[in-house]
Structure 1
Amino acid sequence: MLFNYLKKNGFTLVDSQFTSYLFSDSEQQVAVIVDTQLYGSNKPMYDYKEYTGWQNMLMHKFERLYRFMDNEEQKDIELADAILNDVGDEYDFRQFGADRQVTETDPTRPEYNFESLFEQVYGSKFLHALEREYQYVDLLGKSRYVDYILKTTKGEIAIELNGETYHHPLLIGKNRYQSQLLKQNSLMKDGIKVYRWSNAGMADEKKFADQIRLYFGPENNFCAQPPANQFRDVSFSLYKHQKEALADMEKGREEGKSTFLLVLPTGTGKTEVFIADHCVQKQLGYASRALVIVPFKDLREQTKARFLERNPSLKVATDIFDFNADVIVQTTQAIQRKFASLPKNHFDYIVVDEAHHAPAQGLRRVLEHFAPRTLLGCTATDRRLDKKDLAEIFGRYKLNMTLEEAIKQKLLPPIRAFRLESNIDFSQVRFNGKEFVKSDLNKNVILPSRDQLIVDMISKYFSQRDIKTGRSLADLQGVIFCVDVKHATRLANLLNKHAISAEAVSASSREGLKSYKSGKVRFLCACDLLNEGWDAPNTSIVVMARPTMSKVLYMQQLGRGTRNHPGKEALYAIDVVDSYGPALQPWSLHSMFRVNNYKPFADIFNPNEAVIGEEVILDHLYEQERKLQPIKLFNFEDELGDYLNDEQLARELFVSTGTVKSWVKKQSVIPDKQLPFGTHMLNYYKQNRVDEIRSEKNLKRRSEATRRDDFFEFLEQRDYTFSFKIVFLLLMLKHVDKTGEVSLSLLRRDYQAFYKRLLNNYGQAEKPKSPLNNETFLDDIPAITKSILQNPFEKFERKCFMYHAKDLDKIAFDAVLWDKFKSGDINAIKKQMRTDGKDYFNKHIKAGEFTEATFDDI
């Protein structure tokens, strides 16, 4: 049924994958994927990576891409019509479940991998352009969540990462898949493209890096300002009478307040209060345009009528884009899907009526966006009479400042630093380019002496009563981040032996979380809490016992303690400082914020501030004079942030990383800096060296924009010392999937079979002395695999046209090249390779025996 509907509406069938069909409009701007026979007896089997890869590619290609299931039912047509042609009912907002931005504070494993890889591609400062657990209202009014939203100058991009278990159509079932498509189509209808990856989809890091560069664009389109979450200065009122409520708001304005929370019992006239207040503010010239947000359509109509009853001269509308209206009354659902295009100062006066019905994060997005003169929340519920709960729903917003700025302005608790020096030499711990090798950390970090240092520090500074003041820090709770489960268990046992209550927690052992939140346990020793949704504002101490070069990981760990909590004076961040030699140092609080002076237990941003409160106790307990000490920090951003490594230089020059390393080995290119690391050397180059090296190596200036032309220029050279390149490329095009990937095992099988056939038919498969003329060699899988990768593949890989994902047993076309191939390019390549193959084998094997048809089966 959907096929006929799409054809009647000007769509044409242009492609397919498994039992999914792609339709496009005549302008090639809007495309629709239709899934059929997914849940029948003959349902297809395919990897989720193939599903997402094809969809991501099409999402990038088309202006808008929608996806529907065709169950051959009328409701499928109605849903497609509602999305494609703006036909359908308006729905009231429906909130289901908890606010995930509050409950899911830590990333899942796919999310953590995504953040790490995103950081490698764009740099750590652009991580803040990503907003986690983004709440969105779908076309049916239901509150939904997206794993990440990337905010760019060209619009928002949605990113979903929960992988096969949660998203694969064949695993989640028909109903859940339809729900998934509704969310995706709702986002797309509002101009938000949706890209999906699983862990398997991100396992090929080279391809993933190319994909996100292609799909997300350059980093200068991103927001690099890390926001700090806080609350507005809220005036809270609970009055029985309307005049008292109005008087209280006026008093608040005199004190400089602009945000109000009003709780009045049902039937006492909340609506009358805000209508009256709005009338006064309008007369004073402070409310020329107002917005009233209500949860239901019925209440919207009632509120409109009440405004007009009190003041018939007002123009009251529901269209938020009606710039002539005095008052806009609209539902939460409608507002959340349309507000982003309006300027921040569009409304002078905003009311949130029945605020207890509003979704915390969904409404929060709206309130974060606008900056009215008056912001008023109204509710009558008995369940939310405390200021904090109402503020969670109504008052939270994002400060346009960094975490450091928020702390300096005392909007978040100060961070007090302590560097616990272990003097243990870890210079042989290997670094894989991104992070320390975990097996090396296991052998070197889990040392009784190092663990004892940590316990002794806690016992001395955070478990004793100060004799002079009588105060104690023994009630402060904290988290110690460990290398693995074994390390966490050992540290917890050691703490308990010293009468400091502690529990080890992990993904498989979470019993300690409740005990910690209730105050029954003082310390958690954690190794993988980043895999779990977990939050505990009562955390006052974090101990970094797991060295890391990942800024993402360090900031996630630090973030466990940066929330405010009653009675909390500060967050104490304890960095365990080991010796890693002159080359690399793990992240620490000081390197994170680029602070080159250290004073034990002092506010890292205000170290000379007068000693008060808990710091008085620490000052007394500290045996040495607490003074500022200069420290030498090394981290990549400070000292090598403007340099290129081998891989980045290779990308700039459009050669392989192996080529760059070969130049360095032969000393034809000398790095500007070299850092010894174990048995390896890390090479770095100044950015202005790129043009110099390109000129020295006589390399043409190439870019992603020229990638397709470069590829065809390469083929036109017809550089065929042997036939390998011809056969290899034909087999790549035979087996390539929708995303440009080929199974190396499958390609190798046909590669062997082709040359075996030549050997059997003609007594030779190649020129004399070629190993392919030896049947034993052709049967040797490791040897033939090595031959493929060293001969034909390497020619393409060196030019950045292809790459090998070793862990996945895949060879793939470069993502940019594959995206730039035009209609007819594949057939043109095949035709050239068949013609060139015919000429080659007629010349070197047996003249006249070969035709283009010889290659039809490959």
Structure 2
Amino acid sequence: MTLSDYLRSLGFQQIDSQFTSYLFSDNTQKVGIIIDTQLYGTNKPSYRYHEYTSWQNMLMHKFERLYRFIDSEAHEDRLLIDAILNDSTDEYDFRQFGADRQISETDPTRPEYNFESLFEQVYGSKYLHALEREYQYVDLLGKSRYVDYVLKTIEGEIAIELNGESFHHPLHIRQSRYQSQLLKQNSLMKDGIKVYRWSNAGMADEKKFADQIRLYFGEEEKFCSKPTASQFRNISFSLFKHQQDALLDIENGRTQGKNTFLLVLPTGTGKTEVFIADHSNQKKLGNADRALVIVPFKDLREQTKARFIERNPNLIVSSNILDSSADVIVQTTQAIQRQFASLSTDHFDYIVVDEAHHAPAQGLKRVLEHFNPKTLFGCTATDKRLDQKDLAEIFGRYQLNMTLEEAIKQKLLPPIRAFRLESNIDFSQVRFNGKEFVKSDLNKRVILPSRDQLIVDVLSKYFTQQDAVTGQSLATLQGVIFCVDVKHANRLAALLNKHKISAEGVSANSREGLKKYKEGNVRFLCACDLLNEGWDAPNTSIVVMARPTMSKVLYMQQLGRGTRNHPGKEALYAIDVVDSYGPALQPWSLHSIFNLDGYKPFADIFNPNEAFVGEEVILDHLYEHERKLHPIKLFNFEDEFGDYINDEQLARELFVSTGTVKAWVKNQSLLPDKQLPFGSHTLNYYEQSRVDEIREEKNLKYRNEDTRRDDFFEFLEQRDYSFSFKIIFLLLMLKHADKTGEVTLSLLRADYQSFYKKLLTKYGQAEKTNSPLNNEEYLDDVPAITKSILQNPFEKFERKNFMYHSKELDKLAFDPVLWENLENGDIELIRKQMRSDGEAYFNKHVEAGGIGDNWYEGI
């Protein structure tokens, strides 16, 4: 029995099909299942990957649960579909494969880069914090997997996969790989996490993509936008201590303020007895009301549960992580990783990680970062991980429920000391696209020998010195310089080496310097976008912002490379290269990020008047003038314009074209609230609260996504036909639209030409007198006809945001919101009106004797 037959036996009904896939649904219409057929036979179908993902995304939004399988008669596939559709009791031990992608995948792929940029354009930079990159997840079979992004919202998580066609298209990859891809997707969906997929081609039409993510992700008010700081627990580490000695060490550690304990005991010496005894003591003191014990295997879980009950029969011991009545929950790593995110950070008072050497850092890292118990206890018997560094990295890190600024002010993270290096180089001609500086312009103007020399001079002057009295030196401090591109990074590294400061340029294709840096064999790394995120070197004490940016997220990512604690590290020294950008526009700097209007060189930015200590004493000796607080005038783009909308956003709110808004501004019938001069252009911004006022002034009807269908029918009811183009175009759009409302332009154009040629042949006239469509030579001119379609009928629909055009894909498409809201019978209703209107039009303008009942045949 195939899966299709099996679904029917379970009461599912086939309700649709697309390509070689069948769509089934249960009688509630809440669960959808796609069954793929004929993918790997001799008669392979042909469709583009963005078509595959577009249909699936639409269905993912429609159904509460959407699963996807390959049609099969294999027994294991039946078991898998049962596990997903039912509450399966099958359990699997945790399995980790490959490297930690949060560390190894430091560079975003091209689709990921495009997604971040477009997401920021739609929702704004502050909501990029709601995206977690390289999100680790454990699938239904216990295997550790990664999702490109997870969007954190107050209603739950949304998974986003940014795919390359050659690596993810089911027609281009092996069946085993595609099944693995589906297993990850189905596992996420079973846990209530919807999965949306895009490729570069799927994001090529930016306007359509913006509408899609608005529809699928919802409004930004639901996003979790607050960035958090990381901290390391105060850890007590004990090796090969027997039970009583180990318990005594733990108690001594608690008196010193420690709450995290890592214990190594040889096999058979009773490490389980140690944490059971410690838990019992802490429970009596009221410090362990709810405990969690994480073990790597199912067998060990049952043994540990039995041991707890044997020592204290009154304990309620469970394996259900959500059991609020249990005193102790013992569960496997695999199960914990799939359930922990729904619990609060203080849900457990006492957490034990048993057999810690079996649990890789990647597997437990996110779990242990999430929880902040009163006691965290790890133990192992292995001799393979006796160094404190490896185990501490597993257990030590957790998330602070505070911003970076709050963590620094509370001295949980090192202070930041700022230096503003003013270059006096004029960058006023560097173009700004409304969100970020144009990189090609930065390449021309930032990579200047004189500017690079200023950076080297500052590092030479301040960070090659030592104190004559104490002998303390700044010449060993390491740092990262963020550059515009690879060329800039390599050039700056060469200049530093020339001045006897060891440095290496690093990029996606040149990573050799990363290892040398961590080992302390090179002082500075010159990097472009490589180190913005996903790379960790706590020994970084200096960051130089040599790449100007208007992206707050990018700046904070770069700054974050140095905000980690490290033995002997007094502070992070942040050097902002401050260029001249004119009076209205300034890139982000430390002072604008934290809204500070006073500057004292190398002083703690939050405590500038604090007495000099340590390294700062050495820096102070270098000054020839008194260090004083200088007032600085800052331009904060987000503060000035963050709550305003631009021309494009206003047009979207009003459901008019951007050109219409700009025309209003030009003829002064609309006055922007703020304007930002930029070269020969002016960027216009409007208060969000004025949208309703402008709509009323322009006598525009209130329209939003909920009214899109009614707006479309209202538009058609106007019957504004200067020519027949709109009628024929819409009939052809409906003829060729796929399940997602997309149409291949070249296919539509061929039918468009064919229809008018038939009229011309039959009646000697295809349109009104003097229309170019009455010329057969013109009808054969593909570029001319294409231009005509896009400028005439299509533009009328595009202006109202009913349709979109993607030149790169050769596609036209209905707006996704409109397409989704068209009800049963709507398409036939539209066809009926267009055929009736077309017959009336052609009878009036083309053939007085009557065009005939079947004039629309073929379209």
Q: Which moved more, 1:338-347 or 1:84-93?
A: 338-347
Distance verdict in 2 for CA 1:748–1:583, change over 3 Å? farther
What corresponds to 2:160 in structure 1?
159
What corresponds to 1:724 in structure 2?
725
User: How far did residue 659 of structure 1 move?
Assistant: 0.9
**In structure 2, C-alpha distance between the alignment counterparts of 1:486 and 1:373, rounded to whole Å:** 50
**In structure 2, C-alpha distance between the alignment counterparts of 1:519 and 1:345, rounded to whole Å:** 38
Any residues of structure 2 matched to 1:78-227 within 5 Å, and which?
Answer: 78-87=79-88, 89-227=90-228
Aligned with 2:121: secondary structure?
helix
**In structure 1, C-alpha distance between the alignment counterparts of 2:633 and 2:755, rounded to whole Å:** 62
Aligned with 1:126: secondary structure?
helix
Any residues of structure 2 matched to 1:60-79 within 5 Å, and which?
Answer: 60-79=61-80
**In structure 2, C-alpha distance between the alignment counterparts of 1:326 and 1:434, rounded to whole Å:** 52
Aligned-residue sequence identity (percent) comes to 81
Any residues of structure 2 matched to 1:444-483 within 5 Å, and which?
Answer: 444-467=445-468, 470-483=471-484
**In structure 1, C-alpha distance between the alignment counterparts of 2:849 and 2:255, rounded to whole Å:** 98
Aligned with 1:133: secondary structure?
strand
**In structure 1, C-alpha distance between the alignment counterparts of 2:95 and 2:10, rounded to whole Å:** 32
**In structure 1, C-alpha distance between the alignment counterparts of 2:317 and 2:504, rounded to whole Å:** 59
Contact persistence 2:418–2:575 (CA under 8 A): yes
**In structure 2, C-alpha distance between the alignment counterparts of 1:80 and 1:625, rounded to whole Å:** 74
What corresponds to 1:695 in structure 2?
696
What corresponds to 1:568 in structure 2?
569
**In structure 1, C-alpha distance between the alignment counterparts of 2:786 and 2:625, rounded to whole Å:** 64
Contact persistence 2:533–2:557 (CA under 8 A): no
What corresponds to 2:443 in structure 1?
442
User: How far did residue 791 of structure 1 move?
Assistant: 2.0
1:711 has 2:725 as partner: no
Contact persistence 2:103–2:534 (CA under 8 A): no
User: How far did residue 750 of structure 1 move?
Assistant: 2.8
Any residues of structure 2 matched to 1:508-523 within 5 Å, and which?
Answer: 508-523=509-524
Given the two structures, how large is their TM-score scaled by the length of structure 1? 0.95
What corresponds to 1:595 in structure 2?
596
Distance verdict in 2 for CA 1:522–1:819, change over 3 Å? same
Equivalent position amino acid for 1:238 in 2: L
Equivalent position amino acid for 2:760 in 1: L
Contact persistence 1:115–1:552 (CA under 8 A): no
Contact persistence 2:436–2:549 (CA under 8 A): yes
Contact persistence 1:225–1:400 (CA under 8 A): no
What corresponds to 1:801 in structure 2?
802
**In structure 2, C-alpha distance between the alignment counterparts of 1:107 and 1:595, rounded to whole Å:** 32
User: How far did residue 550 of structure 1 move?
Assistant: 2.3
**In structure 2, C-alpha distance between the alignment counterparts of 1:320 and 1:179, rounded to whole Å:** 27
Distance verdict in 2 for CA 1:552–1:168, change over 3 Å? farther
User: How far did residue 848 of structure 1 move?
Assistant: 5.3
Aligned length: 858
Query: How far does the alpha carbon of each residue in 1:407-431 deviate from its partner, in whole angstroms, 9 at most, with x for none?
Result: 2222222222222212121212222
**In structure 2, C-alpha distance between the alignment counterparts of 1:807 and 1:580, rounded to whole Å:** 35
What corresponds to 2:403 in structure 1?
402
Contact persistence 2:419–2:574 (CA under 8 A): yes
Aligned with 1:94: secondary structure?
coil
Any residues of structure 2 matched to 1:489-504 within 5 Å, and which?
Answer: 489-504=490-505
User: How far did residue 439 of structure 1 move?
Assistant: 2.3
Query: How far does the alpha carbon of each residue in 1:353-397 deviate from its partner, in whole angstroms, 9 at most, with x for none?
Result: 112222434434434444544332222222333444223222322
What corresponds to 1:750 in structure 2?
751
**In structure 2, C-alpha distance between the alignment counterparts of 1:286 and 1:522, rounded to whole Å:** 45
Distance verdict in 2 for CA 1:176–1:273, change over 3 Å? same
Aligned with 1:235: secondary structure?
strand
Query: How far does the alpha carbon of each residue in 1:316-346 deviate from its partner, in whole angstroms, 9 at most, with x for none?
Result: 3323344443332221212222334445554
Q: Which moved more, 1:413-422 or 1:660-669?
A: 413-422
Q: Which moved more, 1:198-207 or 1:656-665?
A: 198-207
What corresponds to 1:644 in structure 2?
645
**In structure 1, C-alpha distance between the alignment counterparts of 2:288 and 2:367, rounded to whole Å:** 18
Contact persistence 1:430–1:437 (CA under 8 A): yes
User: How far did residue 671 of structure 1 move?
Assistant: 1.1
Query: How far does the alpha carbon of each residue in 1:418-463 deviate from its partner, in whole angstroms, 9 at most, with x for none?
Result: 2221212121222222322222222222222222222222222223
1:611 has 2:626 as partner: no
Contact persistence 1:507–1:532 (CA under 8 A): no
Contact persistence 1:240–1:268 (CA under 8 A): no
Contact persistence 2:767–2:774 (CA under 8 A): yes
1:739 has 2:750 as partner: no
Contact persistence 1:49–1:197 (CA under 8 A): yes
Aligned with 2:172: secondary structure?
helix
Contact persistence 1:108–1:530 (CA under 8 A): no
Contact persistence 1:477–1:539 (CA under 8 A): yes
Q: Which moved more, 1:711-720 or 1:179-188?
A: 711-720
Equivalent position amino acid for 2:695 in 1: R
**In structure 1, C-alpha distance between the alignment counterparts of 2:441 and 2:8, rounded to whole Å:** 61
Equivalent position amino acid for 1:539 in 2: T
Aligned with 1:58: secondary structure?
helix
User: How far did residue 675 of structure 1 move?
Assistant: 1.5
Any residues of structure 2 matched to 1:342-361 within 5 Å, and which?
Answer: 342-361=343-362
Q: Which moved more, 1:605-614 or 1:641-650?
A: 605-614
User: How far did residue 4 of structure 1 move?
Assistant: 0.2
User: How far did residue 534 of structure 1 move?
Assistant: 4.1
Distance verdict in 2 for CA 1:364–1:846, change over 3 Å? same
Query: How far does the alpha carbon of each residue in 1:533-557 deviate from its partner, in whole angstroms, 9 at most, with x for none?
Result: 6443333222222222222332332
**In structure 1, C-alpha distance between the alignment counterparts of 2:785 and 2:3, rounded to whole Å:** 48
Equivalent position amino acid for 2:359 in 1: A
What corresponds to 1:307 in structure 2?
308
User: How far did residue 6 of structure 1 move?
Assistant: 0.8
Distance verdict in 2 for CA 1:691–1:333, change over 3 Å? same
Equivalent position amino acid for 1:425 in 2: D
Any residues of structure 2 matched to 1:324-343 within 5 Å, and which?
Answer: 324-343=325-344
User: How far did residue 3 of structure 1 move?
Assistant: 0.9
**In structure 2, C-alpha distance between the alignment counterparts of 1:372 and 1:478, rounded to whole Å:** 34
**In structure 1, C-alpha distance between the alignment counterparts of 2:280 and 2:498, rounded to whole Å:** 68
Distance verdict in 2 for CA 1:628–1:359, change over 3 Å? same
Q: Which moved more, 1:136-145 or 1:621-630?
A: 621-630
Given the two structures, how large is their TM-score scaled by the length of structure 2? 0.95
Contact persistence 2:533–2:558 (CA under 8 A): no
User: How far did residue 645 of structure 1 move?
Assistant: 0.7
**In structure 2, C-alpha distance between the alignment counterparts of 1:705 and 1:741, rounded to whole Å:** 21
Query: How far does the alpha carbon of each residue in 1:680-714 deviate from its partner, in whole angstroms, 9 at most, with x for none?
Result: 11011122221221111100111111111111111
**In structure 1, C-alpha distance between the alignment counterparts of 2:484 and 2:515, rounded to whole Å:** 22
Contact persistence 1:711–1:801 (CA under 8 A): yes
Aligned with 1:157: secondary structure?
strand
Contact persistence 2:126–2:553 (CA under 8 A): no
Contact persistence 1:93–1:295 (CA under 8 A): yes
User: How far did residue 275 of structure 1 move?
Assistant: 2.0
Distance verdict in 2 for CA 1:351–1:493, change over 3 Å? closer
Q: Which moved more, 1:514-523 or 1:601-610?
A: 514-523
**In structure 1, C-alpha distance between the alignment counterparts of 2:618 and 2:109, rounded to whole Å:** 39
Equivalent position amino acid for 1:565 in 2: H
**In structure 1, C-alpha distance between the alignment counterparts of 2:455 and 2:668, rounded to whole Å:** 46
User: How far did residue 639 of structure 1 move?
Assistant: 0.8
Query: How far does the alpha carbon of each residue in 1:556-609 deviate from its partner, in whole angstroms, 9 at most, with x for none?
Result: 322332233333332222222222222322222222222222222222222222
Q: Which moved more, 1:528-537 or 1:191-200?
A: 528-537
Aligned with 1:850: secondary structure?
coil
Contact persistence 1:107–1:531 (CA under 8 A): no
Aligned with 2:562: secondary structure?
coil
Equivalent position amino acid for 1:732 in 2: M
**In structure 1, C-alpha distance between the alignment counterparts of 2:178 and 2:581, rounded to whole Å:** 49
What corresponds to 1:412 in structure 2?
413
What corresponds to 1:685 in structure 2?
686
**In structure 2, C-alpha distance between the alignment counterparts of 1:484 and 1:9, rounded to whole Å:** 57
Q: CA RMSD in A?
A: 2.4
1:831 has 2:838 as partner: no
Any residues of structure 2 matched to 1:661-676 within 5 Å, and which?
Answer: 661-676=662-677
Aligned with 2:604: secondary structure?
coil
**In structure 2, C-alpha distance between the alignment counterparts of 1:847 and 1:362, rounded to whole Å:** 77
